Chain A
């Protein structure tokens, strides 16, 4: 009978972890479930937690169907004319903008980051100086990044104006004011901020490759560029997966950068999901929550390769 109560074993450890447990349950688990559940209701403002409110407001998938009928969220006019000559795979709206940003920022920052890491790995002089230069934008706020690039890319007095002034009269660079191109302008700003980080991850990955691989490749007479692309790159798969997941989750969250660079403009042509959701919190809460759930599902899909890598190897071992 004098066996200590197991509940009190390790009591300080449990007590100290209490904030973490509360955060996990209340914010991460319940918060997420709450958002998903109430995305099926027509609740307006400041709903609470009661099941009664949920049942009273239940509308099924109405928020989702309305959301995808909203042009500001997503509109693909040409895509329904499938099998006709007018068919085109071209969409506009917040969700397609996010996808555009995600795809381009991943492809460009990963390839540029890898290229820079390989160059940095050539036993160069002043490596620290280069690394400091590539990485400093990552220490800055998206708001700072956005305003600097908005100024550089402003057609009025920025790059376009300055190059025309130098004599190249026809030079045009007005992506930031062009509805079709504005997302690519934001991609430029995003790449400027994030590539140094990708480079740092890649460089760490390269440095982790066994020296013997290099010796073996050299003995076999494989040129360095092929060793990088065909031997080293596949060996860096864990780093690539991590980079992919981090860069993509940043792209899914994109908000501050757009607010600072264009504030969604011109018009709403560079709107992104987070901005759409935030702006609809007061007027259109149900739809906002539905849009949040869409982002959540997107993120879950992106996470699959990472989860398989992180938790798959444990079950194998």
Chain B
């Protein structure tokens, strides 16, 4: 090492390229222009919500306001009208919290155990069930909407909070089961066998061995479910009943109830507020979100 001279050192890397080649220029231009297209609505949403209605009517949609104010946000949250009453979108926010919390917990509880059964304790026909479950996830929702109305009515929960939780659990099951089954199947089988030799049973292995090892996949599932359920509109509008309408439904009602002219700034503030929860989760979770959405696309 010590006697190598400068002549012995052959450059091993690539030939240095100029700071910017025309290919690079094209690549960054395309990426940049597309990035602008994707960012534009967010920008417009934010600046519109900070304008006064006079500024919106007289001004330009792209130009930010000189006197930003959060009045529209305050109004959207507290007093915007949804058609029947004027209590703002906060009602919808809390309804969405009430729907998303239990739905996330119940659907993940059911799906994680199901995935564990399918991966480690296969029984007769278990693969058949899994196949039907996967195919079922492609059935258009409208096909099962009315049967589910009948079922929830028969259960006596139609138009209540438990009904939406029930429906979200059903439609979250295929993707979540796939996620958990593939994850558990990828864990070393020796672990499972060792635990069995040590006398652990179905639940012992699940809670003491698998769950502690599966924090990443539970994180992915939680992110997937919170964003998915928060963003749902159809199930909320059908099964939750008017008093439990989630935020997306309330947002739609606020924008569509044109009492005394359209208040675009309030509409946009309500829109941002509705998007804020999934956006925050998205920006904080980063890779987990990508893993969640990619999991549905890659069957193991």
- A: which residues have CB within 8 A of B? 9-10, 12-14, 16-17, 19-21, 23-24, 26-32, 34-35, 46, 48-49, 112, 115-116, 119-120, 122, 124, 128, 130-145, 147-152, 157-159, 161-162, 165-166, 192, 196-197, 200-201, 204, 239, 242-243, 245-246, 249, 252-253, 255-256, 259-260, 263, 273-274, 277-278, 281, 285, 288-289, 291-293, 295-296, 299, 303, 307, 310-311
Also in contact, A259 and B252, with CB within 8 A (given A162-B62, A299-B138)? yes
Nearest B residue (CB) for A295: B140
Report whether A274 and B142 are in contact in the complex, using a CB–CB cutoff of 8 Å.
yes
Report whether B281 and A292 are in contact in the complex, using a CB–CB cutoff of 8 Å.
no
Nearest A residue (CB) for B289: A139
Residues of chain A contacted by B170 (CB below 8 angstroms): 23, 27
CA–CA, A60 and B127, complex, Å: 36
Also in contact, A130 and B31, with CB within 8 A (given A19-B110, A24-B136)? yes
Nearest B residue (CB) for A137: B38
> B103 interface residue, CB < 8 Å from A?
no
Partner of B48 from A119, A151, A256, A289 at Cβ < 8 Å: A151
In B111-126, the 8 Å CB interface with A consists of 113-114, 116-118, 121-123, 126
CA–CA, A21 and B127, complex, Å: 11
Quick one: CB contact mask for B201-218 with A, threshold 8 Å, 1 for yes?
111000000000000000
How many A-B contacts at CB < 8 Å in the complex?
A: 258
Question: What distance in Å separates the Cβ of A50 from its nearest Cβ neighbour in chain B?
Answer: 12
CA–CA, A115 and B132, complex, Å: 35
Quick one: CB contact mask for B273-287 with A, threshold 8 Å, 1 for yes?
011001101110010
The count of chain B contact residues (Cβ–Cβ below 8 Å) is 92
Give 10 nearest A-B pairs by CB, closest first. Answer: A13-B121, A141-B231, A31-B147, A28-B136, A12-B202, A139-B282, A256-B233, A13-B117, A162-B61, A143-B248
Also in contact, A147 and B255, with CB within 8 A (given A122-B27, A157-B264, A197-B293)? yes
In B124-150, the 8 Å CB interface with A consists of 126, 129, 131-133, 135-136, 138-148, 150
Question: What distance in Å separates the Cβ of B278 from its nearest Cβ neighbour in chain A?
Answer: 5
CA–CA, A77 and B150, complex, Å: 38
Question: What distance in Å separates the Cβ of A8 from its nearest Cβ neighbour in chain B?
Answer: 11
- B: which residues have CB within 8 A of A? 23-24, 27-28, 30-31, 34-35, 37-42, 44-45, 48, 56-57, 60-63, 110, 113-114, 116-118, 121-123, 126, 129, 131-133, 135-136, 138-148, 150-151, 153, 170, 173, 177, 201-203, 227, 230-234, 238, 248-249, 251-252, 255-256, 264, 267-268, 271, 274-275, 278-279, 281-283, 286, 289-290, 293-294, 296-299
Residues of chain A contacted by B116 (CB below 8 angstroms): 16
Question: What distance in Å separates the Cβ of B257 from its nearest Cβ neighbour in chain A?
Answer: 12
Question: What distance in Å separates the Cβ of B274 from its nearest Cβ neighbour in chain A?
Answer: 5
Nearest A residue (CB) for B270: A147
Among B27, B121, B255, B297, find the residue whose CB has the most chain A CB atoms closer than 10 A: B297
Question: What distance in Å separates the Cβ of A30 from its nearest Cβ neighbour in chain B?
Answer: 7
Among A9, A20, A120, A204, find the residue whose CB has the most chain B CB atoms closer than 10 A: A20
CA–CA, A28 and B173, complex, Å: 11
Question: What distance in Å separates the Cβ of B251 from its nearest Cβ neighbour in chain A?
Answer: 6
Also in contact, A116 and B44, with CB within 8 A (given A24-B132, A274-B142, A281-B146)? no
Among B117, B132, B138, B177, find the residue whose CB has the most chain A CB atoms closer than 10 A: B138
Also in contact, A148 and B268, with CB within 8 A (given A17-B114, A28-B133, A133-B35)? yes
Report whether B146 and A285 are in contact in the complex, using a CB–CB cutoff of 8 Å.
yes
